[in-house]
């Protein structure tokens, strides 16, 4: 059977090319965002989609789930949402006189946490265990989540009324922050033509199955990352820890996340090795949402995105050396 075939890097790369092509046929004009989302999934990370309504965040989540052959569930986060609405709960069954577990929507492969910042911190924290440990604990009983598992959370950065900003401890659980943005006029014409009167998602097919996807996730670790590039990542992280403008610098989790994301991105670009450009592309998506600047810097209009780009300009890029191998996928 197909799902029993052991994939190598080359076969896995071909499958991911087909996967990316199908997703981009739906998410028009957002090739970079699609590639970042797939990199997060392959790196076993979670995604924070930080963008205004109507830009295709929900469509992206559904399209990824269908194309990767994954189960999909959605939670609309509201102020009255309870932790049990996410994890599930034990209820008393009078017919047999016993408590039974009613699973929550988190028991899935792709969970869309829609407008996550509209619920209380107590409920937001219910996702922490699921995101970090891939398990839930209800009434002292721990249950493993299905694998693979991805949380794709959305939030509107503009409308702050009635919202509860995500704590930095939870932001740190997201591997990438992605912004889709508005399409340009030519792209919007294509979007209208494709989506206005057609059920585009209904025509999609699964390119992968869960067994193949888990294999590819494991293969990502074999992508080569040279010591010079590990040092490059650590220099970026260290810069944030020693800069007077930074209140909360980058953690070791951020360093680990960059390594995983860089390997996944290199793989999606058809290479079995990481280049400095992979790291540069990922600096803002991996680091910006984890970093906190001092209030005085924010009042001056300095954003974490701008700060990181200024940082990159000051750190020398490693010269071409042992990080390039002959292997292409």
Q: Mind listing the pLDDT tens digit for each residue in 3-62? A: 456 888 888 989 999 999 999 999 999 999 999 999 999 999 999 998 877 788 889 999
Residue 98, pLDDT above cutoff 70: yes
Q: What pLDDT is recorded for position 305?
A: 94
Q: What pLDDT is recorded for position 325?
A: 64
Closest CA to 307 of 286, 288, 282, 290: 288
Same-domain pairing of 291 and 166? no
Question: Structural domain of residue 164, as residue ranges?
Answer: 2-221
Domain-terminating residue out of 196, 221, 246: 221
Domain-terminating residue out of 190, 221, 252: 221
Residue 321, pLDDT above cutoff 80: no
Same-domain pairing of 142 and 209? yes
The per-residue b/e assignment along 313-327, b for 16 or more CB within 10 angstroms, e otherwise, is eeeeebeeeebeeee
110-114/150-155 β-pairing: parallel
Distance CA 73, CA 93 (A): 25
Q: What pLDDT is recorded for position 1?
A: 38
- This prediction's pTM: 0.90
Residue 245, pLDDT above cutoff 90: yes
Same-domain pairing of 11 and 99? yes
Same-domain pairing of 198 and 247? no
CATH of the domain at 160: 3.40.50.300
Residue 302, pLDDT above cutoff 70: yes
pLDDT band (50, 70, 90) for residue 93: confident
Same-domain pairing of 23 and 151? yes
Same-domain pairing of 151 and 178? yes
Candidate ranges 55-59, 121-125, 217-221, 321-325; pick with highest mean pLDDT: 217-221
Read off the pLDDT of each residue in 285-294 and give the average, rounded to a whole number: 95
Same-domain pairing of 85 and 232? no
Burial of 256 (0-12, 13-18, 19+ CB in 10 A): middle
pLDDT tens-place string over residues 150-193:
999 998 776 666 678 888 888 899 999 999 888 889 988 988 98
Q: Would you call 56 helix, strand, or coil by DSSP?
A: coil
Domain-terminating residue out of 221, 246, 272: 221
Same-domain pairing of 217 and 231? no
pLDDT band (50, 70, 90) for residue 326: low
Same-domain pairing of 86 and 207? yes
Q: What pLDDT is recorded for position 162?
A: 64
- As for how many domains the chain has, the answer is 2
pLDDT tens-place string over residues 195-231:
888 888 888 999 999 889 999 999 999 999 999 999 9
Same-domain pairing of 227 and 217? no
Q: Would you call 178 helix, strand, or coil by DSSP?
A: strand
Q: Chain-wide mean pLDDT for the chain?
A: 89
Neighbours of 101 (CB within 10 A): 15
Residue 2, pLDDT above cutoff 80: no
- Given a contact cutoff of 8 angstroms between Cβ atoms, the answer to whether 214 and 221 are in contact is no
Candidate ranges 20-24, 90-94, 119-123, 318-322; pick with highest mean pLDDT: 20-24
Distance CA 187, CA 294 (A): 38
Same-domain pairing of 155 and 290? no
Q: What pLDDT is recorded for position 157?
A: 72
DSSP class per residue in 89-132:
EEEEETTTTEEEEEE-TTSSSEEEEETGGGS-HHHHTHHHHHHH
pLDDT band (50, 70, 90) for residue 288: very high
- Of all residues in the chain, the percent with pLDDT exceeding 90 is 59
Same-domain pairing of 188 and 300? no
Read off the pLDDT of each residue in 62-89 and give the average, rounded to a whole number: 92
Q: Is the dihedral of CA 96, 98, 102, 107 positive or negative?
A: negative
Residue 149, pLDDT above cutoff 90: yes
Distance CA 179, CA 200 (A): 22
- Given a contact cutoff of 8 angstroms between Cβ atoms, the answer to whether 57 and 51 are in contact is yes
Candidate ranges 91-95, 124-128, 219-223; pick with highest mean pLDDT: 219-223
CATH of the domain at 297: 1.10.8.80
Cα 153 to Cα 139, 164, 195, 240, distances in angstroms: 26, 14, 23, 26
């Amino acid at each position: 059977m197909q799902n029993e075939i052991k994939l190598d890097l080359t076969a896995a790369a071909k499958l991911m090319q087909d996967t990316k092509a199908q997703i981009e046929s739906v998410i028009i004009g957002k090739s970079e965002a699609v590639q970042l989302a797939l990199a997060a999934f392959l790196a076993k990370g979670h995604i924070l989609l930080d963008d205004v309504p109507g830009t295709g965040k929900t469509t992206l989540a559904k399209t990824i789930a269908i194309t990767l052959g994954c189960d999909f569930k959605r939670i609309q986060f509201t102020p009255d949402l309870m932790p049990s609405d996410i994890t599930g709960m034990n209820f008393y069954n009078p017919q047999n006189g016993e408590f039974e577990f009613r699973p929550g929507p988190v028991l899935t492969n792709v969970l869309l946490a829609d407008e996550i910042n509209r619920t209380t911190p107590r409920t937001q924290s219910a996702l922490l265990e699921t995101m970090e440990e891939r398990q839930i604990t209800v009434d002292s009983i721990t249950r493993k989540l299905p694998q693979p598992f991805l949380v794709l959370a959305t939030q509107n950065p503009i409308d702050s009324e009635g919202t509860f900003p995500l704590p930095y401890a939870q932001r740190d659980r997201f591997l990438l922050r992605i912004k889709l943005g508005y399409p340009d006029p030519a792209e919007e014409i294509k979007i209208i033509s494709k989506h206005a009167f057609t059920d585009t998602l209904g025509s999609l097919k699964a390119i992968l199955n869960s067994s193949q996807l888990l294999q590819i996730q494991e293969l990502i670790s074999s992508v080569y990352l040279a010591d010079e590039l590990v040092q490059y990542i650590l220099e970026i992280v260290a810069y944030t820890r020693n800069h007077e403008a930074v209140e909360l610098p980058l953690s070791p989790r951020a360093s680990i996340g960059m390594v995983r994301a860089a390997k996944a991105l290199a793989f999606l670009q058809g290479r079995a090795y990481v280049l400095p450009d992979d790291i540069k592309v990922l600096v803002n998506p991996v680091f910006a949402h984890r970093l906190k600047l001092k209030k005085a810097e924010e009042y001056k209009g300095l954003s974490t995105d701008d700060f990181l780009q200024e940082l990159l300009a000051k750190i020398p890029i490693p010269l071409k050396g042992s990080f390039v191998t002959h292997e292409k996928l």
